[in-house]
Structure 1
């Protein structure tokens, strides 16, 4: 088993019944589909046992979320017969439609680009087949305040795929809806941050991988279609809370280290670490101010549940956060000074999107 394609399922029985058969049919030699079930109570386990007895399953005792579930699934796969030979681990949602030949370009890319830790296909909408899908489109970037956007998706604007992103490309992050990761790289950084539970975790993973010198890529020869909202609907206040909270956790995980790579070019390690931590704290405070403005808009427009979600996100961030330690940042900057600095987009994507309207995509293609 060179490649393990793992669905982490929680109460998506109907998606398994619909999308698992074509996924199984698409597997080339050396790849295997495995389903890890997060204690579903909707008949998912019974469906797997009766209709797909050939599929190896991992039965988790509870729902550990996307992060805890996949970390446990990865460990279980490695312990399976044949798991010691696995090189690549594919995280794939149960609401992904694939066609034959989607996996081979990803494997080939990883085989020939040993400095790439993770890659993903282009992500199209299941409902509008020629349009990109919100969750990842043609690969993602992150602006200076931590707002994510994609090639092909900015805020709620989505492009049709006219071949404008048909060349393989380095990106800041790739979608967790369908993501191939190199086993050694995933293990090397400790996998997904379990505190996140769900949402923003793949961006954090990709950022941490880049901080260790790895590349993140999109391989457009591979294409899949995503339903989206299979576990949590897009208007869920809980989903909103997770996004706001985890965005702050992600910034706290990575900003100081990223800034230290800039500062070490001009300063001693001690001064570089101190300045990087101050800069990171300042950016996070400003991001929290922007969040507060969003919360006020929710309140003024009668969306009290959304207002509460942002407030709870900040409260949980303060309780769960881990401030960067100066000693660690200093050591990191001293030992990693030669790697490429993860390229945050220098603008604020929210204001640029509002000002440029549909012209934002052409603007970004010239800058990224």
Structure 2
């Protein structure tokens, strides 16, 4: 840990630790820290630098806000860095923040006020906007096949991981952050577990965040699709009703097996990387390699829950 100003604009009234995760974020990290320095609510800033080698350390040390910094020996991914940071938080609320996000000045004030007004909510999801002003996300919905998808309006199932605020105690109670996910679906998995503990998740569009989206990872790349497909299955095996998890794992395997036959028959196959057999076989291999630990995690999650998986699933997918 590198020493720094761990109270941000605050002091004894600081209720939130903002955990910023960065990896090779030199080009946009300064704007993120500038936006945090302009917040109207006291807060503490903790930056987890995932072994950046692009000069990010110099940006952090030179920034006038002097954030506390924890530098890792290797890249732990977004989920791994958040899991590492959780025991270091020590405040009522924990905010997650992408290093390519720049919150508006009232972002934290709006999110804290929303959670204060709704004691049964464990997390609040802001409005993430592209630089053009287009809404990227106000939270997540859960699709009938168990995908987490960005919502642009209306009630949400879960929070988008780019800039949410969570009750620290609720997050710990629900099992923390799934660090092994590395990147993607850590937000949907955490939302699932909060729901299983009886908490709700709020959408707070008044809390606005400019988000570059994909400045660190490349949406649509093979690595992006590998993480997404693998982590969706990880999440379902951990959190969803057994029938849903088994159905979606079987469906993924069946589509993988049928793809070569479709190509041989001259039938159309989507060009996206997640329809490449080699990538899908790698995903299946990773899921099967972790199947026993995932089932152990599933058992622990179920024992700690106050609602059944079927109740939570049925609340967002009433037809099954």
Task: State the TM-score bracket (shorter-chain normalisation).
Answer: 0.7 to 0.9
Aligned mate of 1:17, from 30, 50, 59: 30
Given that residues 106 and 222 in structure 1 are in contact (C-alpha distance below 8 angstroms), is that contact kept between their aligned partners in structure 2?
yes
Given that residues 141 and 345 in structure 1 are in contact (C-alpha distance below 8 angstroms), is that contact kept between their aligned partners in structure 2?
no
Matches within 5 A, 1:287-306: 287-290=252-255, 300=269
Q: TM-score, normalised by structure 1?
A: 0.73
Matches within 5 A, 1:3-152: 3-29=16-42, 31-52=43-64, 54-78=66-90, 86-126=91-131, 128-129=132-133, 131-133=134-136, 137-152=137-152
Distance 1:279 1:206, change over 3 A: closer
Matches within 5 A, 1:1-368: 1-29=14-42, 31-52=43-64, 54-78=66-90, 86-126=91-131, 128-129=132-133, 131-133=134-136, 137-152=137-152, 165=153, 170-256=155-241, 277-278=242-243, 280-290=245-255, 300=269, 307=276, 308-322=278-292, 324=295, 328=299, 332=303, 336=307, 341-342=312-313, 343-345=315-317
Q: CA deviation at 1:144?
A: 2.1
Distance 2:226 2:268 in 1: 15
Q: CA deviation at 1:331?
A: 7.1
Distance 1:46 1:318 in 2: 42
Distance 1:65 1:284, change over 3 A: same
Counterpart secondary structure, 2:89: helix
Distance 1:334 1:316, change over 3 A: closer
Choose 284-293 or 329-338, whichever is displaced more: 329-338
Task: State how many pairs are aligned.
Answer: 300
Given that residues 16 and 93 in structure 2 are in contact (C-alpha distance below 8 angstroms), is that contact kept between their aligned partners in structure 1?
yes
Distance 1:310 1:331 in 2: 28
Counterpart secondary structure, 1:35: strand
Unpaired stretches in structure 2, ≥5 consecutive residues: 1-13
- What does the per-residue CA deviation read over 1:129-161, in whole Å, with 9 as the maximum and x for residues that have no partner? 1x112xxx1221112211232333xxxxxxxxx
Q: CA deviation at 1:53?
A: 6.0
Q: CA deviation at 1:337?
A: 5.8
Distance 2:166 2:71 in 1: 22
Given that residues 21 and 82 in structure 2 are in contact (C-alpha distance below 8 angstroms), is that contact kept between their aligned partners in structure 1?
yes
Counterpart secondary structure, 2:159: coil
Q: CA deviation at 1:300?
A: 4.8
Distance 1:76 1:294 in 2: 46
Distance 1:91 1:292, change over 3 A: farther
Distance 2:107 2:121 in 1: 18
Q: TM-score, normalised by structure 2?
A: 0.83
Distance 1:306 1:338 in 2: 29
